[in-house]
Amino acid sequence: MRRGNAILAIIVGVLALIIFAFAIVYYVFTEPMRMAKSALEMLFGSGGTAQAANMAALKPVDCGNGTSVPPIFLPAIKQAAARYLGGDEAIIIAIIDHESSFDSKAMSKSGAVGIGQFVAQTAQRIKDKTVNKGDVFKGLDIITVPRADKSKERTVTPAERATFLKDHADSGRLQPVPSIMAVAYEIGRGLEAQKGNLRDAYAINYHTLGKNGEHKTVAYATADKIVKTYEDLKKNGGCKALKDTPGKLGEDLRKLTTGAP
């Protein structure tokens, strides 16, 4: 009987060790995923923490001269400015404020999508150009808004918009952090081409004005508004809320949402 009890004890002990080992492996592999999911939900809204994310979005911080920014975007703005604009966060805020008012689901009649209001062709070019940097739209699909009637290229219907947001919610242009990075990259490229002239950098490079006179007028009219917002922000010392925002968090979010190194 004693021998039988010893064998039974050994078997129970081995089973306990197996269960314990399995529990450790499960925790090691699932906990980071759970934490990442929770972070994304808190930032961008979904699942059980959507209410918390919505509450954060309802309390934007005042960056001066009436320009408000949802605090969930501040870390990414700080990191994007550091990477592509020498730390000039006001440029990103001014552009996004006029492009989309920080609405990550914004869509124009021409099919420009997201915070930065990029058309698919521009977003794909940015993705291709930054592939070695690995931080803009990496691993994310750039999808053109499917059109029921291709003869009406410049008029996306409400139904088409709703279908795109539903069927392609994970596509690149709808993701806030990669899009903020793309805004910084694109305007940075324009500033380099236009020798630091923000007005021309936006109208010519970011907005990509064509030969059409009316389109050119619209591009420069928006550029003038962006320049004014930018100058007002700089005059007030920039967005004060950014001073206490950890740039490291923006870098972590960049990696979390793009899988970049």
Q: How does pLDDT run across 51-86, given as a tens digit for each residue?
A: 554 554 457 888 877 788 888 899 999 999 999 999
Q: What is the pLDDT of residue 209?
A: 61
Q: What is the pLDDT of residue 68?
A: 86
Q: How high does pLDDT run on average in the chain? A: 77
Distance, CA of 179 to CA of 190 (rounded, Å): 16
Distance, CA of 75 to CA of 58 (rounded, Å): 17
Q: What is the pLDDT of residue 138?
A: 85
Asked if 97 and 67 count as a contact pair (C-beta separation under 8 A), the reply is yes
Burial (CB < 10 A; 0-12, 13-18, 19+), residue 60, is middle
- Domain residue extents for the chain: 2-53, 70-258
Could you say which of 1.10.3720.10, 1.10.530.10, 3.40.50.920, 3.40.50.300 is the CATH number of the domain covering 70-258?
1.10.530.10
Instruction: Kindly state the average pLDDT of the residues 93-102.
Output: 94
Nearest to 173 by CA among 120, 130, 132: 120
Q: How does pLDDT run across 173-227, given as a tens digit for each residue?
A: 999 999 999 999 999 999 999 999 999 999 999 987 655 555 788 889 999 999 9
To the nearest 10°, the Cα dihedral for 132, 135, 141, 145?
-120
Does residue 252 surpass a pLDDT of 60?
Answer: no
Q: What is the pLDDT of residue 32?
A: 45
Does residue 162 surpass a pLDDT of 90?
Answer: yes
Does residue 88 surpass a pLDDT of 80?
Answer: yes
